[in-house]
A and B are shown apart, each in its own frame.
Chain A
Amino acid sequence: MITLRLNGRALSFPDGITVAVALLQSGQLTFRTSVSGEPRSAVCGMGVCFECRVTIDGKPHSRSCQTLIREGMEIRA
């Protein structure tokens, strides 16, 4: 298991999953807010649509579907 922090909350997930999957597993379907204020979630699951952008370890606009979770990772979405 891997423990990371999602919006400040410590959560554990099985190794080998992506950040997008961790978010969805935790029950969070909304990943970001669009330029007009709509809630958005992952769409393509393969790195193309950029709808799954979150802040990972302080780096904004990281594609959560292309990033594997790591111990101690800090995610803001």
Chain B
Amino acid sequence: MIVVVGAGPAGIAAALRAQECGARVTVIDDNPSPGGQIWRGESTNTWVERFRNSGIPILAGTRVIAADAAAHTLLLETDENSREIRYEKLILATGSRELFLPFPGWTLPGVFGAGGLQALAKSGLPVSGKRVVIGGTGPLLLAVGAYLRQHGAEVKLIAEQANIQSLAGFAPELLRHPRKVWQGASLQWAIAGVPYRTGCWVESAEGRGRVERVTIRSGRDGFPTSSSWTEDCDYAAIGYGLVPNRELEWSLGENPPDVYIARTGEMEFSFVEGEIAGLTAAGYAERAVLLHPKREKAGAFAAALDTTFTLREELKHLPAPETFVCRCEDVTCERLRPFDSFRAAKLHTRCGMGPCQGRVCEPAASFLFGWPAASDEGRSPRPPVFPARIESLLPVTKG
């Protein structure tokens, strides 16, 4: 049996392709319903519909908390129970999360991720009439702005940290790939009238018990002076791009047998990566090769996105000494600064020891302090990859 972890575009593509080849497939996803980040809650999406109609079993609301490459087993946990599942072939299509960068006030209720607020809205949160400031970087900000606006929010500002020069370089890329202007970002009209300012970022959030206003700083694109102003808001939605979820992959060690990785990126790249993984796992590598040109094209676009939305240096100076970087254990910026790697910081503070297991603070701290990225540290996290209940771990420790 082929087991696919993740039911986003990549996982859905992988599962459908593998089934087409006659393979028996099961899909596992942490979310209550399939679709991943982009098709979350969209019951009308054709691919989600095709997936639902395919008869491929999905274990929704189920997370993979540990994997054993030698035994070819995964440990699954739901809200109710846990169990082990065996795979012949394993496809990892675990997608990505947002990069959150700490700044004074980022822990105030009402400060969400950019995709975070969109995800909540897609899960049913009414945003009508809410005043929202969107900040961070990347095309996701536009998609979020359009989505929230369509649902009645008053989007006061989209603060894009990249400066106008690099965005100008992005425009020809958009023209070259007109259809895929990031799903939801073919939206010039949808966000018409929303102030989209480049070269500025949310410097702090203020309010009593919840966000009431944010301060925006403008780097004045190439000018030495900068200026700042405040915007009143009910919600702030701030995200600095995406970080791939690779914890499960790392927990399998190097070159695990029968494991296929669908890399993630923007939607079309993820989808074709999923198709390739699905065909290859099902034993049709020669058909997968035919998709390589499609992948290259999508990959070039993803690379252009990365260079356009490179994070600016000023963002490293956003947190004050007392700003929490690790939100689970409330570890401040000044306590982390003396260390030269996440691992060292983890040993000496409780940074990364909380339930998110460093998913939020590790990429943030690595950016702030210039620490080596987790993958370069040769890190192979021990199971579990998600905090597990003790009883879930018993079968693993027993074996």
The residues of B that contact A31 with a CB separation of less than 8 Å are 109
Q: B117's closest neighbor in chain A, by CB?
A: A45
Whether a CB of chain B sits under 8 angstroms from the CB of A48 is yes
The residues of B that contact A11 with a CB separation of less than 8 Å are none
B320 to chain A minimum Cβ distance, whole angstroms, is 15
The residues of A that contact B354 with a CB separation of less than 8 Å are 50
CA distance A18 to B149 in the complex (A): 22
Q: A18-B123, A21-B120, A30-B109 are in contact. Are A45 and B115 (CB under 8 A)?
A: yes
Whether a CB of chain A sits under 8 angstroms from the CB of B301 is no
The residues of B that contact A38 with a CB separation of less than 8 Å are 107, 330
Q: B40's closest neighbor in chain A, by CB?
A: A46
B-contacting residues, A8-63, CB 8 Å: 14, 16-18, 20-21, 24-25, 29-31, 34-36, 38-51, 53, 56, 59, 61-62
CA distance A32 to B79 in the complex (A): 19
CA distance A53 to B79 in the complex (A): 13
CA distance A53 to B355 in the complex (A): 10
Dominant SS at the A interface?
A: loop
The residues of B that contact A18 with a CB separation of less than 8 Å are 32, 120, 123-124
CA distance A20 to B327 in the complex (A): 18
A-contacting residues, B81-131, CB 8 Å: 97-98, 100, 107-113, 115-120, 123-126
Contact B113 A21 (CB under 8 A): no
Contact A49 B209 (CB under 8 A): no
Whether a CB of chain A sits under 8 angstroms from the CB of B341 is no
Whether a CB of chain B sits under 8 angstroms from the CB of A67 is yes
The residues of B that contact A56 with a CB separation of less than 8 Å are 79
Contact B32 A45 (CB under 8 A): no
Contact A43 B100 (CB under 8 A): yes
Chain A interface extent, by class? 35 or more
Contact A24 B125 (CB under 8 A): yes
Contact B109 A29 (CB under 8 A): yes
A-contacting residues, B1-56, CB 8 Å: 30-32, 37
The residues of A that contact B360 with a CB separation of less than 8 Å are 43-44, 48-49
Q: A40-B109, A45-B115, A66-B61 are in contact. Are A25 and B125 (CB under 8 A)?
A: yes
Contact B123 A65 (CB under 8 A): yes
A-contacting residues, B125-162, CB 8 Å: 125-126
A57 to chain B minimum Cβ distance, whole angstroms, is 9
Contact B116 A45 (CB under 8 A): yes
The residues of A that contact B245 with a CB separation of less than 8 Å are 48
Contact of B123 (CB < 8 Å), options: A21, A34, A41:
A21
Contact B209 A39 (CB under 8 A): yes
B58 to chain A minimum Cβ distance, whole angstroms, is 15
The residues of A that contact B119 with a CB separation of less than 8 Å are 44-46, 65
Q: A30-B109, A65-B120, A68-B32 are in contact. Are A51 and B327 (CB under 8 A)?
A: yes
Q: A23's closest neighbor in chain B, by CB?
A: B125
The residues of A that contact B209 with a CB separation of less than 8 Å are 30, 39
A-contacting residues, B205-219, CB 8 Å: 209-210
CA distance A30 to B210 in the complex (A): 8
Q: A17-B124, A45-B112, A46-B116 are in contact. Are A66 and B355 (CB under 8 A)?
A: no
Contact of A20 (CB < 8 Å), options: B108, B120, B387:
B120
Extra pairs beyond A39-B108, A43-B111, A47-B31 (12, CB < 8 Å):
A14-B124, A17-B124, A31-B109, A34-B107, A34-B330, A38-B107, A39-B209, A41-B110, A44-B100, A44-B115, A49-B360, A66-B30
**9 nearest CB pairs, A to B:** A45-B119, A41-B109, A17-B124, A50-B355, A45-B116, A36-B330, A29-B109, A45-B120, A21-B124
13 A-B pairs (CB sep. < 8 Å): A18-B120, A20-B120, A29-B109, A30-B109, A36-B330, A38-B330, A44-B97, A44-B119, A45-B116, A45-B123, A49-B359, A50-B356, A62-B79
